[in-house]
A and B are shown apart, each in its own frame.
Chain A
Amino acid sequence: MESQSLTGGFSDPPVMSARAFRAALEAMARPGTIQRIEGAEAPAPLSPAAATLILTLCDGGTPLYLTPGYDSAEIRAWVTFHTGAPLVARDAARFAVGPWAALAPLADYAAGTADYPDRSATLIVECDALRSDGARLTGPGIRDAAHLALPEIAAFQANAARYPLGLDFFFTAGTQLAALPRTTQVEAG
């Protein structure tokens, strides 16, 4: 266990985190597109995509919530060693990672304030696979419409309705990455 928590980081952090961030930037700028992101290997069940995202964005200043199923001694040790991110409850988290069902209820996460809507949580939703079908997405970053298989529709519609407050989502599976900012309008596909 101990050796596992010390391995799996970036072999060349400045360059690997730069490439990973560009994938995350493209994903957030173009909701629904599926990007490739890799470089980190964390203890199961944390996917390489989610692990890479955590190494790229999290550090001592970003409290992280691990959902049930992800809140294991192995993942805690890995995250703590590689990022130093404080592990906290939902309401104190800037980032959260886990499967959709375990991330709920969404109302517990910080959605920002009217003065500072950026002070909101980013949720990393672990999925089995990402597919460009299903829900129809429109809004900033999307020319006409995009499609992405989402775990549900209503929660994302409710989130978008709170704009400019709201949560922002990354979806991860294997080395795949997609994103859904609060601006995206979601309809059943």
Chain B
Amino acid sequence: MTDDLREYNFAYLDEETKRMIRRALLKALAIPGYQVPFASREMPMPYGWGTGGVQVTAACLVPEDRLKVIDQGADDTTNAVSIRSFFARTAGVATTERAAEATLIQTRHRIPETPLREGQILVYQVPIPEPLRFLEPRETETRRMHALEDYGLMHVKLYEDIARHGAISTAYAYPVKVAGRYVMDPSPIPKFDNPKLESAAIQLFGAGREQRIYAVPPYTQVVSLDFEDHPFEASKPDHPCALCGATDSYLDEVITDDAGARMFVCSDTDYCATRQAGGAA
């Protein structure tokens, strides 16, 4: 297997495909939040496992990169381990689990707690790139709505949340407006992560099945949609992490036995492990 993979091109994809993705990435950066169509390829993994993110990563990697892959904040889940080893084999890049040491981070549904810096690229795996899709199923219509900057329907949706539940109940994939123009789905990150979308790093989004690429350049205004009397709130479970004691990180609820015992632990395993090693608990 390993020997066979060495026969593949650098970073798996052929050069013509990479050029096509690279052109889409440049236009995506030039029009922040706009979804650029691209000719997504079949990858050696099923749709839904990060084929969009993997193609963007493949088009961006250089041999000098140090790659980190996370799935819901964790470095050690099947998806993260598989993608990390895929690029270690096909691109020969170094890998790491430390967010601070990585030059390129591919993520499924989280932004690392450690603030990202210039020189880093964050690649998101995106299932449904169109923020308006569940409100309007027709692509022709949603494309027109973006063209006309017609986002009233999204505000109606958030308003209906308030009317039914007393608050905006959307907890993940919380819609944002990028650079004052395009409404964008930040991928299913918890809304706790939305403030981190304004970052020093380059953020690239790849949706393989839906064949879309979009981007947020560094230092770009990203506003979570809300109302004056119901302002956006980046919420998280109201507990400290049971392992490291952090009160500022996003937490997963873990069931620990059949009797309903539970604990809350950091979703970002690197952040939690670093704090534990430093004796923060």
Contact = CB atoms under 8 A, between A and B. Distances in A.
Interface in B1-48: 9-11, 15-16, 18-20, 22-32, 34, 36-37
Contacts of A118: 24, 27-28, 31, 34, 36-37
B66 to A, nearest CB: 14
A14 to B, nearest CB: 4
A183 B179 contact: yes
| Dominant secondary structure of chain B at its interface with chain A | mixed
A62 to B, nearest CB: 7
Contacts of A1: none
Nearest to A138: B219
B13 to A, nearest CB: 9
Contacts of B216: 140
Interface in B143-178: 143-144, 147-148
A28 interface: yes
Query: Which of A19, A21, A29, A122 is the most central at the interface, judged by chain B CB atoms within 10 Å of its CB?
Result: A29
B202 interface: yes
Contacts of B61: 18
B254 interface: no
B22 A29 contact: no
Interface string A9-38: 000011101110110111011100000000
B133 interface: no
B219 to A, nearest CB: 5
A126 interface: no
Contact of A29 (B10, B218, B221): B218
Contact of A57 (B10, B23, B63, B221): B23
A182 B30 contact: yes
Interface string A92-103: 001000000000
A30 B218 contact: yes
B268 to A, nearest CB: 24
Contacts of A25: 22, 25-26, 29, 60, 121, 202
A164 interface: yes
B136 to A, nearest CB: 15
Interface in A28-59: 28-30, 56-59
Contacts of B63: 15, 18
A23 to B, nearest CB: 10
Contacts of B25: 25
Interface of A: 13-15, 17-19, 21-22, 24-26, 28-30, 56-59, 61-62, 94, 114-118, 120, 122, 139-143, 163-164, 168, 181-183
Interface of B: 9-11, 15-16, 18-20, 22-32, 34, 36-37, 59-63, 118, 121, 143-144, 147-148, 179, 181-182, 200, 202, 215-221
